[in-house]
Amino acid sequence: MFLKPLFGIPDKLLDKLVGRVYSGCGIRKYKFNPVKAGTLTGMNMNVEELKTLLEKLRRLPSETEWVEFKEAKSNFPFDDLGKYFSALSNEVNLKGLDFGWLVLGVSDQPPRKIVGTNYRPNRPALDKLKKEIADHTTSRLGFEEIYELYRPEGRVLMLQIPPALQGIPTSWKGHYYGREGESLVPLSLGKIERIRGQVLREDWSAKVCEDATLDDLEPEAIRFAKKQYKEKQSGHAQELDQWDDLTFLNKAKVCISGQLTNAALVLPGKGRVRTLPFPGNCAAILGTAKRSRHRKRL
């Protein structure tokens, strides 16, 4: 990335800015309360919304490689669970999606009837599953969340699977898995190389931030950046005094044809929370001039 050498962004801050933040279709962890059937406690999503999500998944084409349905009426082999985790995680990465889903308690053939599952019937056992899976995967990836939905036909488990990390295929016990249509197969060499090559291809800091304008930048921070730039490029000091802000940002290579890049927003962005198209549509706290004085010199 050119972001770090240009502005001297500390590793921890950079990781926060470019880290993956998942929305998960607006779902958050919940605790089902059987006493209040039809309600969820401690959630941003109600039962009806969760039902809608399930119905959308059930209507997906049969060859979808990022969703898998299993009846699992009484149990599901742990090793198979891990293999599907690896496969779905890798396929989600390759398709640029936020999540994959392993749904238990639903038949895998259209019309995908709900049959109900008794897999790990108590919540503590389900929560332990996250660690148990992470113990055997690359970078200790685990289920983003595990949801229980009670329908008249029976209990459904919806296991939310994150994508493989950029450049790192998700393995299960040292082996990589993928999908070919509905089949679980070893991840092909071509797909492994596609994931591994993402680190070389992707430069988040160089991408244009479509919604950003000069109004999103702190004038004091730009003045400070100009001062530092002038000290480093002393031969252009007089010339720099004639540049307007947009010209300066173009010369500093944090602006492309008048459009701001993500790199431009990290240092001179206004000190407020603003939702911009950072990875995962996260809300980033953009830096201020005052904070930039404590960073390394340009």
The DSSP secondary structure of 40-107, one letter per residue, reads: EES-SS-HHHHHHHHHHHHTS-TT-SSEEEE--SS---HHHHHHHHHHHHHHHHHTT-S-EEEEESB-
CA distance 85 to 100: 9
| pLDDT for residue 201 | 64
Q: What is the pLDDT of residue 41?
A: 30
pLDDT tens-digit series, residues 241-277: 888 888 888 877 788 777 888 777 765 544 443 334 3
Task: Identify the segments of the chain with pLDDT beneath 70.
Answer: 1-45, 63, 200-204, 266-298
Angle (deg, nearest 10), helices 189-196 and 78-94: 60
Percent over 70 (pLDDT), the chain: 72
At residue 170, the pLDDT reads 97
| pLDDT of amino acid 2 | 38
Residue 186: what pLDDT? Answer: 97
Determine contact, residues 209/282, Cβ cutoff 8 Å.
Answer: no
pLDDT at 178: 97
pLDDT value of position 199? 79
Which residue ranges make up each domain of the chain? 3-12+204-292, 46-201
**pLDDT of 101:** 93
**The predicted structure's pLDDT at residue 45:** 57
Q: DSSP 3-state assignment of 275?
A: strand
What is the token pair recorded at 32?
A: 């089902």
Q: CB–CB of 135/174 below 8 Å?
A: no
Q: What pLDDT sits at residue 148?
A: 93
Given a contact cutoff of 8 angstroms between Cβ atoms, the answer to whether 104 and 119 are in contact is yes
Under 8 Å between Cβ of 8 and 298: yes
Please tell me the distance from the alpha carbon of residue 43 to that of residue 31, in angstroms, as a whole number: 8
**Third-level CATH fold of 46-201:** 3.30.950
Nearest to residue 27, comparing CAs of 8, 46, 9?
46
Query: Phi and psi of 107, rounded to 5°?
Result: -65, 150
- Residue 161: predicted pLDDT: 95
pLDDT of residue 243: 85
pLDDT number for residue 193:
94
